[in-house]
Amino acid sequence: MIGKHRWKLGATAFAVLAGFGYFAACGGGGQGQGADVGQIAQDRGLSQEDIARAVKTYVPTGQMDEYLLMSSGGHSGQVMVFGVPSMRLLKVIGVFTPEPWQGYGLGAEETHAVLDQGRMLEKDIGWGDTHHPALSETEGDYDGEYLFINDKANPRIGVIDLRDFETKQIVTDPLLTSNHGAAFVTPNTEYVVEGSQYAGTLDGTHASLDDYEERYRGAVTFFKFDRDAGRIDVDRSFTIELPPYAQDLSDAGKGPSHGWAFINSFNTEMATGGIGKGNPPFEAGTAANDMDYLHVINWEKAAKVAENPENTRTVQGRTLIPIDVAIEQGLLYFIPEPKSPHGVDVTPDGSKLVISGKLDPHATVYSWEMIEEAIANEDFSGTDPYGVPIINFDSAVEGQLELGLGPLHTQFGPNGEAYTSLFIESAVAKWNYETLEMIEKLPVHYNVGHLAAAEGDTRSPDGNYLVSLNKWAIDRFQSVGPLHPQNFQLIDTSGESMQLLYDAAIGIGEPHYAQMIKADKLSPWNTYPEVGFDPGTMAVSEEAPRAGDERIERDGNTVHVYMTAVRSHFNPEHIEVNQGDEVVLHVTNVEQARDATHGFAINKYNVNVSLEPGETQTVRFTADRVGTFPFYCTEFCSALHLEMMGYLLVQPS
C-alpha cells in the first residue's frame, strides 16, 4: 500500500531529502533552497513517498531518459515513443494513418506510397487497431534497428526504421480477416510473426456460418524480414493453415526452444454466436470448454517445407502450407491450456512458457524440455477434429501458481522474476518462475492489460522499471468528458518491493502493448547523413535538387520544379502553371544543422511535407484548382520564418 504520512515538520522533509542525496545534487544552489523544498512539500501535502517518486521520475532539463518505451498508438494506427522514467512523450510515428507534423501521407510521394500499401480490398483505411509493437532482435535481444507493429482490424504489419523513426513499409495479409498474435519476431528477426484472431475463409470468399467448421480457418503468417533491405519480403513469406479457433497472442522460442513459435487460442468450441437466433452469445459459447489449445509450431522446419511447391498451395498470391501438410511434416502440435487463455510468454532463457488464462487464476508454466520429449515420444492424448496431435497436459506442464483474478500477460526481470498483470484484480503479481513462489502483489489503477518491463521479453531483462498499461482510469485524472484518458502507470522494480511512481495520462487509446528498450541501444540519425537524402530508399537521390541547381522545367503538361529550402527561403518562390498541369515538385532541405527542419505546405491542396535536414521529397499533384495558393514553411525555423513562403499561381487553361 502507498503510505500517506503527511509531513508535519519542515525538518522531517529536510531529513528525507538529505537522505536522497538531494542537497548533494544541489551543489550549493543557494541558501534556503532546501527549506523551500520542504515548504513546497508541506504546502502541497506531499508524503515522503511522493517526494521519493518525484525524485525518481524527474529528469532535469537537458538530461536524457534511460529507456525508451515504444508503445502502440491504439486506434490512431500510429506508434508513440516515451522516455522512461520521465514518461515524456517524445514522438508519435505515423504508421497506418497520416501524421500531419511529419507530413506522413500528406503529399510526399514516398509516404503516400507507404500508406497506399496498406489499402485493403481497394479501400483506403482511416484507422488501425494497433496492439503489439515488436523491436527487432539479434540473438533474442533488442538490437535497436527496426520496429514492427500490427493492425488487428485490418490484418497488416508496419515496418519502422529506427535510424529515422519513420515507417518504410506496410504489408497486408489477404488470407486473414484480422490478426492478433502480431507483431512478434523470431530471435534474429528472421521472421515477423502474425497470427490470426477471428476465423474467416482464407480465399476471402463468402461462407455461411453454418459451414464454420468446414470453411472457416485460422492461420499464422511468417513474414520473412530482409534486414539488408529493411523490408519484409512477401515472396519469401509463408502462411500455415490452422483450425478455426480464435488464435491469440504469440511468442517465439529462444535458446533451447529456438525455431519454435507458440500461439494461444480460445474458442476451440468453434462457437459462432448468434444471440438473435437463440444461440448462446459468443462470450458463453467460447468459454464452454475447460481447456483450449496452445499451438506449438516449428517455424524453422516450416520454412524449409514451404520451399517445396509440392507442399504448398497458392492462395490469394500467398504461399500456404495446408493443415494436413503441417501435421504430416510435424510442424504443428497442440497442448491443452486452461480456459480462455490470453498471454503466452517465453522465459528469458527459453526453457519455459508462462501461460495465463483470463478465467483461470493460475499461471501455468510449461517446460520446453518436457514438450520436446513428448513430441519425440508421441506422447499424445489424441487429435483435435482436424487431426492435430494433442500433447498430454501433464507431459508438458511443470507446475502452476495461483496468482489472482484474471491473469493476462507476463514480463520478466533479471533474476527469475515474473510480473503478471491481473486484469480483474487490478494488480501486478511478482513471482518467481523457477521456484513457483509468489513474491508480492501491487495494486494498480485499474484493470491492467499488458505490462512492459525494461527489456522484459528479451533474453536479458534489465529490471528497474515496469509500465502497467491500464484499461480504465476512472478517477485518476481531471475529467475531460466521458471518454477518459488512458493511463500508463510507471512502477519502480529496482528495490525489494515494487513502488508505484507515476501516472502518465496518454491522450489517445487504446495502446495494449509497449516494449521498453535501453536508450543507448538506439543510434538514430540527428540529421540525414547527406544533403539530398531520400528516406524512401535511405540513400542519396540523383534527382534531389541542390543549391544553385534550382529550376522549373516544363515537359508537355508536366511541370517539374526543382526547389531548395534553407533558412529562410524557398527557391524558386514563384510557380506558375496552367490548370490541369501535373506538377512534380522536388524539394530538398539543403541544411545540415541539427533540428533545422522546414515544412512545405500548399494551401488548399492538402499538401504538408516535413523536410528534415538533408532530406529530399517529391510531391506530385494535378493543379486542378485555379487561383493563387501561397506555399509556406510550417516549422518556425528562424526569425524570418513567416517570410519563408512563395506563390503557386494556377491560371485557367
Cβ of residue 641: shortest distance to ligand CUA, in angstroms? 4
> Among 163, 180, 295, 358, which residue interacts with ligand K7E (rule: CB under 6 A)?
180
> Among 74, 140, 449, 599, which residue interacts with ligand K7E (rule: CB under 6 A)?
449
Partner in contact with 131, chosen from ligand CUA, ligand K7E, none, beta carbon below 5 to 8 Å by kind: ligand K7E
Q: Rounded to an integer, what is the distance from CA 141 to the centroid of its chain?
A: 16
> Among 192, 598, 609, 629, which residue interacts with ligand CUA (rule: CB under 6 A)?
598
Pairing of β 218-226 and β 231-242:
antiparallel
Q: Which of residues 296-355 bind ligand K7E (CB under 6 A)?
A: 342
E-strand ranges in 253-406 read 260-266, 291-298, 313-315, 318-321, 332-338, 341-346, 352-357, 362-367, 380-383, 389-391, 397-402
* CA dist., res. 178 & res. 201, Å (int): 11
Cβ of residue 71: shortest distance to ligand K7E, in angstroms? 12
587 binds ligand CUA (CB under 6 A): no
* CA dist., res. 61 & res. 167, Å (int): 29
Cβ of residue 43: shortest distance to ligand K7E, in angstroms? 39
Cβ of residue 26: shortest distance to ligand K7E, in angstroms? 42
Partner in contact with 644, chosen from ligand CUA, ligand K7E, none, beta carbon below 5 to 8 Å by kind: ligand CUA
Matching residue, cell 444471440: 275
User: Which of these, 416, 417, 442, lies nearest to 429 by C-alpha position?
Assistant: 442
- 487: its cell numbers: 493511463
State the Rg of the chain over Cα.
27
- Exposure on the CB side of residue 291, measured as CA atoms within 13 A: 13
| CA diameter of the chain | 82
Question: Backbone phi, then psi, for 324, in 5-degree steps?
Answer: -70, -35
Q: Decide: 182 and 513 in contact? Cβ < 8 Å.
A: no
CB atoms near residue 147 (< 10 Å) = 26
Partner in contact with 641, chosen from ligand CUA, ligand K7E, none, beta carbon below 5 to 8 Å by kind: ligand CUA
Instruction: Output 217 or 512, the one with its CB closest to ligand K7E.
Output: 512
Partner in contact with 168, chosen from ligand CUA, ligand K7E, none, beta carbon below 5 to 8 Å by kind: none
CB atoms near residue 15 (< 10 Å) = 12
User: Which of these, 401, 455, 446, lies nearest to 428 by C-alpha position?
Assistant: 446
Specify the stretch interacting with ligand CUA by CB under 6 A; choose among 195-203, 351-359, 420-428, 634-642: 634-642
> Among 637, 646, 648, 650, which residue interacts with ligand CUA (rule: CB under 6 A)?
637
131 binds ligand K7E (CB under 6 A): yes
- Exposure on the CB side of residue 210, measured as CA atoms within 13 A: 2
User: Which of these, 197, 184, 74, 172, lies nearest to 130 by C-alpha position?
Assistant: 74
* CA dist., res. 616 & res. 550, Å (int): 13
637 binds ligand K7E (CB under 6 A): no
- 369: its cell numbers: 524440455
Would residue 77 be called left, alpha or beta, if left means φ above 0 and alpha means ψ between -120 and 50 degrees? left
Count, residues near ligand K7E per rule CB under 6 A = 11
Partner in contact with 635, chosen from ligand CUA, ligand K7E, none, beta carbon below 5 to 8 Å by kind: ligand CUA
* CA dist., res. 632 & res. 629, Å (int): 10
Partner in contact with 647, chosen from ligand K7E, ligand CUA, none, beta carbon below 5 to 8 Å by kind: none
> Among 147, 644, 648, 650, which residue interacts with ligand CUA (rule: CB under 6 A)?
644
Q: Decide: 109 and 617 in contact? Cβ < 8 Å.
A: yes
155 binds ligand K7E (CB under 6 A): no
Cβ of residue 613: shortest distance to ligand CUA, in angstroms? 11
Cβ of residue 184: shortest distance to ligand K7E, in angstroms? 10
- 111: its cell numbers: 509516404
Q: Which of residues 389-448 bind ligand K7E (CB under 6 A)?
A: 408-409
Cβ of residue 259: shortest distance to ligand K7E, in angstroms? 24
* CA dist., res. 122 & res. 174, Å (int): 12
91 binds ligand CUA (CB under 6 A): no
> Among 145, 248, 534, 635, which residue interacts with ligand CUA (rule: CB under 6 A)?
635
Instruction: Output 318 or 512, the one with its CB closest to ligand K7E.
Output: 512
Q: Decide: 426 and 440 in contact? Cβ < 8 Å.
A: no
* CA dist., res. 375 & res. 355, Å (int): 19
Instruction: Output 350 or 406, the one with its CB closest to ligand K7E.
Output: 406
- Please, what's the b/e burial string for 315-336 (b: 16 or more CB within 10 A of its CB; e: otherwise)? beebbbbbbebbbeeebbbbbb
> Among 95, 176, 193, 249, which residue interacts with ligand K7E (rule: CB under 6 A)?
249
User: Which of these, 647, 642, 644, 643, lies nearest to 630 by C-alpha position?
Assistant: 647
512 binds ligand K7E (CB under 6 A): yes
> Among 513, 600, 605, 629, which residue interacts with ligand K7E (rule: CB under 6 A)?
513
352 binds ligand CUA (CB under 6 A): no
358 binds ligand K7E (CB under 6 A): no
Count, residues near ligand CUA per rule CB under 6 A = 7
Instruction: Please give the residue whose beta carbon sits closest to ligand K7E in the complex.
Output: 449
641 binds ligand CUA (CB under 6 A): yes
* CA dist., res. 233 & res. 301, Å (int): 19
The SS3 assignment for 269 reads coil
- 186: its cell numbers: 523470431
473 binds ligand K7E (CB under 6 A): no
> Among 163, 352, 450, 586, which residue interacts with ligand K7E (rule: CB under 6 A)?
450
633 binds ligand CUA (CB under 6 A): yes
Specify the stretch interacting with ligand CUA by CB under 6 A; choose among 30-38, 353-361, 407-415, 630-638: 630-638
- 465: its cell numbers: 522499471
Cβ of residue 423: shortest distance to ligand K7E, in angstroms? 8
Partner in contact with 598, chosen from ligand CUA, ligand K7E, none, beta carbon below 5 to 8 Å by kind: ligand CUA
Instruction: Output 506 or 637, the one with its CB closest to ligand K7E.
Output: 506
Return residues touching ligand CUA (CB under 6 A): 598, 633, 635-637, 641, 644
Return residues touching ligand K7E (CB under 6 A): 131-132, 180, 249, 342, 408-409, 449-450, 512-513
